[in-house]
């Protein structure tokens, strides 16, 4: 059946050629390829179709090869040559560069490229050709050259190179020999079959025989990781020194509680992604060090200590450009979190669950892994009545409102507890939940965002800051809230308000335009003034950071009497940014306005008024009676 099918292909081809010949009015050779139609017919009738091109398969390619071999006529520019390409490899399948390949019984030759490939052109069409890798006397299998075609050798020419033995010792980065490390030659050829890997002994030593000469790459694999080295192999023994089986690096961290207080005696375990585990104990400063982390490999830290929750820090990696040094590792006390400030710290700890006692809920909370994570209660008996705990970052950020929106979109959340005011960007809005949600706080906090007027939201102790408002906090020394500070607004809208216990103030529904804000507390803080613009497109957030008034500094500074023999009065020590001087003295002969002391025979009291300045207009005074000692 196959022969009959091929004969039909041949007859079809002949019909095409005959049709072309008739149309062109050129008998026997219509396409100018030098083929006589009558010769083709005679050949087919006599021999049939065989494997003309020696590729082991009888198909239409044999018909094409056959017609090219039948006596051509002499025509100008007739192509009667072809090309051969092939590959030269060594005994382990590695391509060989710059090997001379000759066409036997010919002067034609070529050099292999870096991929071991060669090409020889302009070979006369013929059968039974071979090429040889010259100095190695390695021949190819016979092949046929067809006119105008490229013959690709199906099998590479393999040459046999002299060999050598590679020996060495595999070390860790700290020069500790590594046993059980697999050493392999790195090649894409048949090396794994011809040269199987070897394994280091208890001293980390290996012997790799029968390696062909030349530059060879090796790699090592073990439970520690992977590394590599290169050897220019020569005949005989090739000793390799200091093979690094893995690159160990030192990583360190500091174990602390959620407020960054160091924890000593904490047990820290490091687990590499390949399963290698090491445990150390933190020092009195909370610091811990691992000297056997593997560079460019992920690892995890786990911490345990009595009285504290277990903590985990995942996806750590030390690289050449980013080292893990003194990384903070935070945990929490097992005691329930019972204040907003504690909760603000607790959410930054490396724990996934802890207990709270806030907003009427006492029990465990766990981290919610939404796009913006937050902590949520774990009520097993009320799965659709959970409490979400949300807090802001202390400044205007996208994530503040998005974290709140994530809780509003959680169908299991019915209550949201706000432990720190949320400040969003001007373009952000709260989503409308599909079920009733109560937003509560144990203290006065606020949310800055576009809040939709929707009956599903209930607010308790949480203020809403709308567009066209001015709000913020009045803070003082050490960022403490200045309770009772007077905040005055003037300009397009006027008004006065008082900062609450948290230092929070709020002006609502203002007219658009320029305003001036000022804040002070007459007893101890000086006035600070800010120009502020209200455009009704977003709320204006303005914090005050008040400085102590000159009068407060004057009232609280320490004044000392001059000592015996002292001729210049020592002025009180005051904070930077303030100045102190003597405004007046009721006896300038004893203590002058420049502080010069004139000693008398007996002690004498002098009333001195000190003046404290802060800036150009903030002035404070303090009267004090000083005793100038006498000489006798």
* 318 part of a folded domain: yes
Return the number of other C-beta atoms located less than 10 Å from residue 35's C-beta.
20
* 454 part of a folded domain: no
State the Cα–Cα distance between residues 445 and 288, nearest whole angstrom.
Answer: 39
Ranges 46-55, 284-293, 379-388, 594-603: which has the least confidence: 46-55
Task: Choose the final residue of a domain: 44, 69, 94.
Answer: 69
State the Cα–Cα distance between residues 340 and 359, nearest whole angstrom.
Answer: 10
* 149 part of a folded domain: yes
Local confidence band at 484 (pLDDT 50, 70, 90 cut-offs): very high
Q: For tokens 């056997």, what's the residue?
A: 292
Residues 134 and 109: beta-carbon distance below 8 Å: yes
Residue 15 has pLDDT above 50, yes or no: no
Local confidence band at 417 (pLDDT 50, 70, 90 cut-offs): very high
How is residue 620 written in tokens? 């404070």
pLDDT at 11: 40
Do 371 and 429 reside in the same domain of the chain? yes
pLDDT at 196: 86
Of residues 304 and 125, more confidently modeled:
304
State the Cα–Cα distance between residues 516 and 526, nearest whole angstrom.
Answer: 16
Residue 187 has pLDDT above 90, yes or no: no
Q: Which of 203, 243, 190, 189 is nearest to 221 (CA)?
A: 243
Do 601 and 569 reside in the same domain of the chain? yes
* 136 part of a folded domain: yes
Do 389 and 523 reside in the same domain of the chain? no
How is residue 159 written in tokens? 């040459």
* Segment 287-295 mean pLDDT: 88
Do 280 and 388 reside in the same domain of the chain? yes
Write the CB contacts of 47 (distance below 8 Å, at least 6 apart in sequence): none
- Within a 13 Å sphere around the CA of 302, how many CA atoms are in the beta-carbon half? 8
Residue 405 has pLDDT above 90, yes or no: yes
User: Beta strands 248-256 and 327-330: pairing type?
Assistant: parallel
* 401 part of a folded domain: yes
Return the number of other C-beta atoms located less than 10 Å from residue 360's C-beta.
10
Q: Which of 89, 83, 130, 88 is nearest to 106 (CA)?
A: 130
State the Cα–Cα distance between residues 154 and 57, nearest whole angstrom.
Answer: 13
State the Cα–Cα distance between residues 452 and 434, nearest whole angstrom.
Answer: 13
163-171: strand order across its sheet = 205-212, 163-171, 236-244
Do 226 and 307 reside in the same domain of the chain? no
How is residue 545 written in tokens? 């950071």
pLDDT at 286: 96
How is residue 616 written in tokens? 């150009």
Domain count, the chain: 6
For 540-585, where are the E strands, in sequence order? 540-541, 544-545, 579-585
How is residue 181 written in tokens? 């490390």
pLDDT at 466: 65
pLDDT digits (tens, 9 = 90+) for 563-619: 988 999 999 999 999 999 999 999 988 999 999 998 888 889 999 999 999 988 889
Do 579 and 618 reside in the same domain of the chain? yes
- Within a 13 Å sphere around the CA of 493, how many CA atoms are in the beta-carbon half? 18
Ranges 27-36, 83-92, 300-309, 481-490: which has the least confidence: 27-36
Task: Choose the final residue of a domain: 103, 131, 158.
Answer: 158
pLDDT at 279: 94
Q: How buried is 236 (Cβ within 10 angstroms: 0-12 exposed, 13-18 middle, 19+ buried)?
A: exposed
Local confidence band at 291 (pLDDT 50, 70, 90 cut-offs): confident
* 455 part of a folded domain: no
CATH of the domain at 125: 2.60.40.4130
Return the number of other C-beta atoms located less than 10 Å from residue 611's C-beta.
16
Return the number of other C-beta atoms located less than 10 Å from residue 284's C-beta.
9
State the Cα–Cα distance between residues 629 and 567, nearest whole angstrom.
Answer: 11
Task: Choose the final residue of a domain: 49, 69, 89.
Answer: 69
Most confidently modeled range among 11-25, 404-418, 431-445: 404-418
Q: For tokens 């009015």, what's the residue?
A: 25
Domain range for 228: 163-244
Do 337 and 360 reside in the same domain of the chain? yes
277-281: strand order across its sheet = 277-281, 267-272, 299-304, 311-316
Residues 388 and 378: beta-carbon distance below 8 Å: no
Do 174 and 146 reside in the same domain of the chain? no
pLDDT digits (tens, 9 = 90+) for 79-93: 578 899 999 988 888
Q: What's the angle, vertex CA 54, arms to CA 51 and CA 60, rounded to 5? A: 45
CATH of the domain at 215: 2.60.40.10
Q: For tokens 């949300």, what's the residue?
A: 390
Do 209 and 270 reside in the same domain of the chain? no
* Segment 243-269 mean pLDDT: 89
pLDDT digits (tens, 9 = 90+) for 464-480: 776 577 888 899 988 88
Residue 209 has pLDDT above 80, yes or no: yes
pTM of the full structure: 0.48
CATH of the domain at 427: 2.60.40.1120
Write the CB contacts of 13 (distance below 8 Å, at least 6 apart in sequence): 60, 63, 67
Local confidence band at 203 (pLDDT 50, 70, 90 cut-offs): confident
Return the number of other C-beta atoms located less than 10 Å from residue 614's C-beta.
22
* 129 part of a folded domain: yes
* 457 part of a folded domain: no
Do 308 and 422 reside in the same domain of the chain? yes
Do 562 and 424 reside in the same domain of the chain? no
Do 259 and 393 reside in the same domain of the chain? yes
Query: For the chain, how many residues are written?
Result: 632
How is residue 500 written in tokens? 């609450």
């Amino acid at each position: 059946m196959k022969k009959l099918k091929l004969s039909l292909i041949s007859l079809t081809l002949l019909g095409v050629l005959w049709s072309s010949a008739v149309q062109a009015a050129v008998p026997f050779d219509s396409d100018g390829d030098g083929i006589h139609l009558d010769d083709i017919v005679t050949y087919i009738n006599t021999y049939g179709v065989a494997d003309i091109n020696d590729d082991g398969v009888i198909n239409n390619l044999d018909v094409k090869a056959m017609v090219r071999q039948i006596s051509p006529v002499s025509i100008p520019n007739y192509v009667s040559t072809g090309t051969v390409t092939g590959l030269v490899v060594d005994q382990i399948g590695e391509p060989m560069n710059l090997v001379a390949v000759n066409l036997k019984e010919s002067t034609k030759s070529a050099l292999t490229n870096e991929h071991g490939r060669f090409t020889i052109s302009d070979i006369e069409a013929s059968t039974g050709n071979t090429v040889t890798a010259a100095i190695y006397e390695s021949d190819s299998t016979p092949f046929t050259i067809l006119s105008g075609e490229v013959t690709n050798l199906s099998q590479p020419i393999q040459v046999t190179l002299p060999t050598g033995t590679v020996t060495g010792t595999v070390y860790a980065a700290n020069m500790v020999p590594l046993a059980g490390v697999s050493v392999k030659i790195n090649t894409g050829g048949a090396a794994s079959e011809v040269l199987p890997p070897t394994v280091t002994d208890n001293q980390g030593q290996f012997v790799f025989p029968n390696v062909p000469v030349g530059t060879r790459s090796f790699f090592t694999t073990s439970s520690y990781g992977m590394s590599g080295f290169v050897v220019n192999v020569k005949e005989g023994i090739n000793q390799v020194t200091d093979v690094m089986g893995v690159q160990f690096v030192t990583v360190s961290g500091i174990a602390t509680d959620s407020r960054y207080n160091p924890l000593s005696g904490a047990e820290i375990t490091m687990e590499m992604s390949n399963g290698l585990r090491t445990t150390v104990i933190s020092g009195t400063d909370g610091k811990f060090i691992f000297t056997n982390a593997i560079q460019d490999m992920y690892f995890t830290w786990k911490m345990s200590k009595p009285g504290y929750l277990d903590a985990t820090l995942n996806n750590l990696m030390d690289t050449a450009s980013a080292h893990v040094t003194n990384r903070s590792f935070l945990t929490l006390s097992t005691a329930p979190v019972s204040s907003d400030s504690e909760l603000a710290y607790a959410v930054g700890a490396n724990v996934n669950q802890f207990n709270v006692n806030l907003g009427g809920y006492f029990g465990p909370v766990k981290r919610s892994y939404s796009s913006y994570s937050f902590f949520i209660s774990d009520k097993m008996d009320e799965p659709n009545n959970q409490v979400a705990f949300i807090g802001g970052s202390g400044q205007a950020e996208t994530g503040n409102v998005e974290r709140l929106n994530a809780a509003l979109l959680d169908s299991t959340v019915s209550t949201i507890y706000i432990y720190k005011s949320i400040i969003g960007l001007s373009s952000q809005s709260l989503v409308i939940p599909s079920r009733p949600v109560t937003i509560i706080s144990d203290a006065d906090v606020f949310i800055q965002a576009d809040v939709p007027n929707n009956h599903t939201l209930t607010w308790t102790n949480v203020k809403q800051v709308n567009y066209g408002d001015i709000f913020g906090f009045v803070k003082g020394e050490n960022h403490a809230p200045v309770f009772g500070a007077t905040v005055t607004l003037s300009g397009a809208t006027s008004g006065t308000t008082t900062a609450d216990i948290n230092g929070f103030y709020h002006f609502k529904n203002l007219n658009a335009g320029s305003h001036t804000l000022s804040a002070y507390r007459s007893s101890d803080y000086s006035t600070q003034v800010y120009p502020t613009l209200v455009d009704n497109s977003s709320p204006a957030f303005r914090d005050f950071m008040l400085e102590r008034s000159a009068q407060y500094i004057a009232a609280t500074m320490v004044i000392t009497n001059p000592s015996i023999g002292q001729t210049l009065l020592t002025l009180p020590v005051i904070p930077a940014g303030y100045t102190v001087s003597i405004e007046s003295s009721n006896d300038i002969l004893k203590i002058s306005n420049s502080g010069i002391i004139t000693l008398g025979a007996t002690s004498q009291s002098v009333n001195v008024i000190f003046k404290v300045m802060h800036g150009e207009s903030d002035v404070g005074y303090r009267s004090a009676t000083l005793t100038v000692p006498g000489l006798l």
